[in-house]
A and B are shown apart, each in its own frame.
Chain A
Amino acid sequence: MMLHSMATKSTTADRAPASAEPGWLVLLCVTAWLVPGAGHLWQGRRQKGIVFLCAIPVMFVLGLALHGTIFPFQFSEPLSGLAAIAEFGTGLPWLFARVMDAGSGTVTSPTWEYGNTFMIVAGLLNALIVLDAFDIGRGRK
């Protein structure tokens, strides 16, 4: 009897939340990537979600305003390729900027490197935010 109840307890504790199905987790991660903070908002973490929703797009737009470049996926120049992957992490703001042909970058501008830094770091921070949303979805947090 005791063994049975112990076994039941451990399987209950190990079981992932009902919502943590692979398809749902993929959808969660894609949403969290597209709209920074949406993954947290979806899971009821309002304060965190709102902060991310404001901070990441503002950082990206500031980067554009500082004449930063949206790097092409050009892996013949490894640093440019890596910067492109990092910026891609921003999600919708990156897509909008690409569609609107923004982010051509002004290399001669004194703030060009600052702009790049803001945009690259915004993308990398959003990648961390997506991973955090994934962890919450898996029930690890």
Chain B
Amino acid sequence: MTDHFLLLTLFALFVSLVFAVLLRDTPREQLRLGGMMFGGFLTAGFVLGWVMFPMPF
């Protein structure tokens, strides 16, 4: 299990799940916040990965 994107996805899944359940009370709101956080994590990881790609270090 050394796929970086898979590990990033797992991490994003757990963190957004816990935050969504912690910060919202109804399942609908939890799903909405969790989905937004999960999407945000993945997008940020993907974009930052490509931005850092040409860097020599």
- A interface residues, Cβ below 8 angstroms from B: 47-48, 51-52, 55-56, 58-59, 62, 65-66, 110-111, 114, 117-118, 121, 125, 128-129, 132
CA of A56 to CA of B19, assembled, Å: 12
Asked whether A56 lies within 8 Å of B7 as measured between CB atoms, the reply is no
Closest 5 CB pairs of A and B: A51-B21, A114-B7, A125-B18, A59-B14, A110-B2
Chain B minimum-CB-distance residue to A118: B11
Q: Which A residues are in CB contact (< 8 Å) with B14?
A: 55, 58-59, 118, 121
Q: Which A residues are in CB contact (< 8 Å) with B4?
A: 114
B2, B18, B27: the one within 8 Å of A55 (CB): B18
Chain B minimum-CB-distance residue to A113: B7
CA of A66 to CA of B15, assembled, Å: 17
Q: Which A residues are in CB contact (< 8 Å) with B22?
A: 48, 128-129, 132
Asked whether B15 lies within 8 Å of A125 as measured between CB atoms, the reply is yes
Interface residues of B in 1-49 (CB under 8 A from A): 1-2, 4, 7, 10-11, 14-15, 17-18, 21-22, 27
CA of A55 to CA of B18, assembled, Å: 7
Q: Given A48-B22, A129-B22 in contact, is the A111-B17 Cβ separation under 8 Å?
A: no
Interface of A is mostly: helix
CA of A110 to CA of B10, assembled, Å: 16
7 further A-B pairs in the complex, CB-CB below 8 A; given A51-B18, A117-B11, A118-B14: A47-B21, A52-B18, A55-B18, A59-B14, A65-B1, A111-B1, A129-B18
Name which of A56, A111, A117 has the most chain B CB atoms within 10 A of its CB: A111
Q: Which B residues are in CB contact (< 8 Å) with A66?
A: 1, 7
Q: Given A51-B21, A110-B2, A111-B2 in contact, is the A121-B7 Cβ separation under 8 Å?
A: no
Q: Given A66-B1, A111-B1, A111-B2 in contact, is the A121-B21 Cβ separation under 8 Å?
A: no
